[in-house]
Amino acid sequence: MLNPELKLNSKIFEEPERKSIRDGYGDALLELGEKNPNVVVLTADLAESTRIHKFAEKWPERFIECGVAEQNMAGIAAGLGISNKIAFISSFATFSPGKNWETIRTTIIYNNSNVKIAGHHAGISTGPDGVTHQATEDIAIMRCLPNIRIISPCDYFEAKKATLYSATIYGPFYLRFVREKTPIITTEETPFRFGKIECFWKPKTESAEIAIMATGHLVYQALLAAKELEEQGIDVYVFNVHTIKPLDEEKILEVANKVKGIVTVEDHQIHGGMGSAVAEFLAKTKPIKMNFIGLQNTFGESGSMEDLIKKYGLDKEAIKEAVKNLILP
């Protein structure tokens, strides 16, 4: 069942409202702009697509249009971030942190500049735009950098809360957003605790053998899988791993000591992503059977989000199969 303590959306299994995760980012920036005059926003010719156009219209003196020059955007933001500003840089994730990764590394991360990197249109859920715009390696290239914090929100409300939170902590963040409208899983009352994984689905009994750990919009597919597995007599946990770095190692170890296997779920390559982070930690603390849902060493292609999720084995059916495979002797 959905964890009642977290005040999640009770209509998630009916016809849930859908809203773009990127809109949570844009709305949070409007709120931050009102509260803090040191917030500045930059983009590389993608203001509307990254939902910062409203901020730009309201505070043009705090908005910088860098044009199609992602490396320049990162360098400018790095200077602002060490000059008492809170800089948000916004572009498609294939371009930022993709195209400008070295500039981010050397000017922002190395200098611990107060810059928040918003990577939009992440994952194959970008759909019709195709492989050139589907960032499925971004978690890996950012996770390897020292001194970075990474958040992958599951829905609109969590994206808004994550963006607001990032502005309260000095230093670089990577915020990962998807484009398409996705189900709203949480509510305004659902707590957001940075650095913690949250149990969104609780089994009927404490004898559940499998835990599903999902991140981003695929938390919804994990919840659908959990409900259908329960109807088949298979109890599981579902955890929302919104914070990928730093990983909630204490809770993950606690879960690993309780179950016989873990399934990780992400709209990203299975190499270097959230699942890899979990596996790396458990390899040295509590080796356990694992299955990894994500892109299996392949690029995506053009298509609808729904069709691509199904084709590449990221949907509820693939998750259910991964769970059952861990239960079988």
Residue 268: Cβ within 10 Å count: 29
Q: Residues near 37 by Cβ (< 8 Å), separated by ≥ 6?
A: 62
Angle among Cα 32, 34, 36 to the nearest 5 degrees reads: 60
Q: Which residues of 49-63 are buried (b: 16+ CB within 10 A; e: fewer)?
A: bbbbbebbeebeebb
Q: Which of 261, 257, 265, 258 is nearest to 239 (CA)?
A: 265
Closest CA to 210 of 290, 293, 317, 315: 290
Catalytic residue among 70, 180, 198, 266: 70
| Residue 29 CB burial class (10 angstroms; 0-12, 13-18, ≥19) | buried
Cα-based distances in Å from 62 to 58, 114, 290: 9, 16, 46
The token pair at 201 is 């689905």
Q: Among this protein's residues, is 70 annotated catalytic?
A: yes
H/E stretch holding 177: none
Strands 39-43 and 86-92: parallel
Catalytic residues, which ones?
A: 70
